[in-house]
Structure 1
Amino acid sequence: MARMLWDEACRLDQSLSSLGHYFSYPPEYAQTLTGGLTNRCWKVVLSENESYVWRPVTPITKAFSISRFQEFQILNALKPTDLAPSAMYLNDHGLLVSWVEGSTSNNDIKLDALLKLLGRVHEFDATKLPIAPFNYTARVDHYWILLNEQNKVEPFLSIYNQWRLTPNLVDVGQVLCHLDLAGHNIVRTDAGNKIIDWEYATITDPRLDLVLSAEMMGEKPLEVGYRYCQLRGIEDVDNWIEGIIAWRPRAKMMAMLWYLLAFQLWGDEAYFLTASQIAEDLTVSSDT
């Protein structure tokens, strides 16, 4: 993480200058944050006991359909739960949230702890959240449209066409979902675990959330589904497992497109290799 004086940081990222009217005095310094694949955020430090995270609006966030306004609405709604950082300030250039002091869990968080957190998110009453439900087909179509023609080739083209439609499933409810919950977005604090980075959060099928978390944690999605149902006392387990099976290839295809788009935007070959590996996994699974 690069640490620099506030004026220097503002010259490097002009969106930080938009915070000038929010703070009563200039911050001591700003520090680039690493770890996020989508966001390139800043830790803004006013004093030893007062820090924030600046989450800017950039061409990258727009390419991935990330809305800081929606993130702001979700964080505001979650404030009574103490599950997430507090949303402090929103403008056209980004979102300022409270800094969560603690240590990230990375990949060492226990599965049950993660599933209990996920269950708390899914149990949150999202009926009054002023956000539109997630549209899976619209999202993957958006990623596909943004890709250059040289990336719209086989096997990516066939996989996209095969899995671009939402599965026809028994409805288990549309709930608040994080869609990026694994150890890297969980912070251990003195008051318990908190979830950060809500930029992909939305209202959708919780079985998609389970699949995405299982894949990021390196766990078997079906085992994750059974354990989640057990922890929450869910009785219609078959409908949940059926949904997990149906969502898994679609979640992987969406991730494949995400990595292709990331490769196009940043030029990092590692993103293309990851997209190619996902495509290979999907091709092999469909052939067996």
Structure 2
Amino acid sequence: MSSESWRIDSPQRRSLARLGSRDKRLLGIDRQREQRLLRHLSAAALAPSVRLWAKPWLLLDWVEGETQSPALFFSQPTQQQLATMLATLHGVQPIGNALDIKRRLQAYWQAVDVRRLTPAWLRWHQRLIKRPLPQTLKLAIAHMDIHPDNWVTSPRGERLIDWEYAAATDIALEFAALFRGNAYAPRQQRQLLQYYALCGGYRDIPRLEQQIRRWQPWLDYLMLLWFEVRWQQTGELRYVQWAQPLREQLFGEIARR
């Protein structure tokens, strides 16, 4: 499979083996943290079950089923299901240390190819790191990588897979990642937040929307640096191409000031 994972087929079961490696740790992925979180979520029936943790390997039950198509993902029934899953997830008592986004940014920064740095980029980085983080609206477990390929409709119900970036963090950061990563239109964002509030999620939608906006530059910069680190690790041009619009958006703002 992709992402340093292997599918294991046996007469008894099918499993997914996920390796912890130096490259993964550089990206902020900790397989031990991942298995603790998945065990903690077992009663919520949202994620794969842990079969075995034997450092550096995490063995999970394989989730049989079909992933979402982009069209189906944005359909009204699916968005309502997503809101229900998010409300359930964000209602689980968080465990472990909260995501330290500044620490994650600094770790990514150290791995960026210095030949790609510009004065505008350096100014942006210094200004952002000096700024205080938004105060947490609600601390919860967040998946942080929800998209159609990470949603499986299985015989046992809807499941989210690939929890390697999951952490305790502000629910608004979860929505910032969801909206940016899936290119939600403003109308689609508002609709999902309304569904979320109706099924037991955070009810003050204007306040949640404001908090999402506060987190957006942090999330955008986190995505940009992640693309840059992955380009360093793989040499695959697609990561540079994906980073370019964010570079223009973030650093162009500084140039225009």
Shorter-chain TM band? 0.7 to 0.9
Matched, 1:179 2:147: no
After superposition, what is the alpha-carbon deviation per residue over 1:38-76, rounded to whole angstroms, capped at 9, x for unaligned?
Answer: x221100012x5100000012221111210000000110
Q: Quote the RMSD (CA, aligned, Å).
A: 2.1
Query: Are residues 270 and 166 of structure 1, via their aligned partners in 2, closer, same or farther at CA, if it must alter by over 3 Å?
Result: farther
In structure 2, C-alpha distance between the alignment counterparts of 1:40 and 1:255, rounded to whole Å = 20
Matched, 1:112 2:77: no
1:240 offset after TM fit, Å? 0.8
Identity of aligned residues (%): 21
1:25-64 aligned within 5 A: 33-34=1-2, 39-47=3-11, 50-64=13-27
After superposition, what is the alpha-carbon deviation per residue over 1:14-39, rounded to whole angstroms, capped at 9, x for unaligned?
Answer: xxxxxxxxxxxxxxxxxxx14xxxx2
| Counterpart position of 2:99 | 134
TM-score calculated relative to the size of structure 2: 0.88
Q: Residue type of the partner of 1:247?
A: W
Work out the number of aligned pairs and report it: 247
Question: Is 157-166 or 114-123 further displaced after alignment?
Answer: 157-166
**Secondary structure of residue in 1 paired with 2:8:** strand
In structure 1, C-alpha distance between the alignment counterparts of 2:19 and 2:46, rounded to whole Å = 22
Question: Is 222-231 or 93-102 further displaced after alignment?
Answer: 222-231
1:156-167 aligned within 5 A: 156-164=121-129, 165-167=131-133
Structure 2 runs not aligned, ≥5 long: none
1:79-228 aligned within 5 A: 79-107=42-70, 108-110=72-74, 111-126=79-94, 129=95, 131-164=96-129, 165-169=131-135, 171-220=136-185, 223-225=188-190, 227-228=192-193
Preserved contact between residue 65 and residue 155 of structure 2 (Cα < 8 Å): yes
Preserved contact between residue 177 and residue 206 of structure 1 (Cα < 8 Å): yes
Specify the structure having the higher radius of gyration (Cα).
1
Preserved contact between residue 87 and residue 97 of structure 1 (Cα < 8 Å): yes
1:152 offset after TM fit, Å? 3.1
1:5-24 aligned within 5 A: none
Query: Are residues 192 and 96 of structure 1, via their aligned partners in 2, closer, same or farther at CA, if it must alter by over 3 Å?
Result: same
1:93 offset after TM fit, Å? 1.9
Pick aligned residue for 2:243 from 259, 263, 275: 275
Matched, 1:242 2:210: yes
Q: Residue type of the partner of 1:253?
A: Y
1:228 offset after TM fit, Å? 1.6
Pick aligned residue for 1:264 from 193, 207, 232: 232
1:283 offset after TM fit, Å? 4.0
Query: Are residues 85 and 230 of structure 1, via their aligned partners in 2, closer, same or farther at CA, if it must alter by over 3 Å?
Result: closer
Q: As a proportion of its length, which structure holds more helix?
A: 2
Structure 1 runs not aligned, ≥5 long: 1-32
1:158 offset after TM fit, Å? 3.1
In structure 2, C-alpha distance between the alignment counterparts of 1:222 and 1:124, rounded to whole Å = 28
1:226 offset after TM fit, Å? 5.8
**Secondary structure of residue in 2 paired with 1:179:** coil
Query: Are residues 196 and 230 of structure 1, via their aligned partners in 2, closer, same or farther at CA, if it must alter by over 3 Å?
Result: closer
TM-score calculated relative to the size of structure 1: 0.79
Q: Residue type of the partner of 2:8?
A: V
**Secondary structure of residue in 2 paired with 1:188:** strand
1:216 offset after TM fit, Å? 1.8
1:271 offset after TM fit, Å? 0.7
Preserved contact between residue 83 and residue 195 of structure 2 (Cα < 8 Å): no
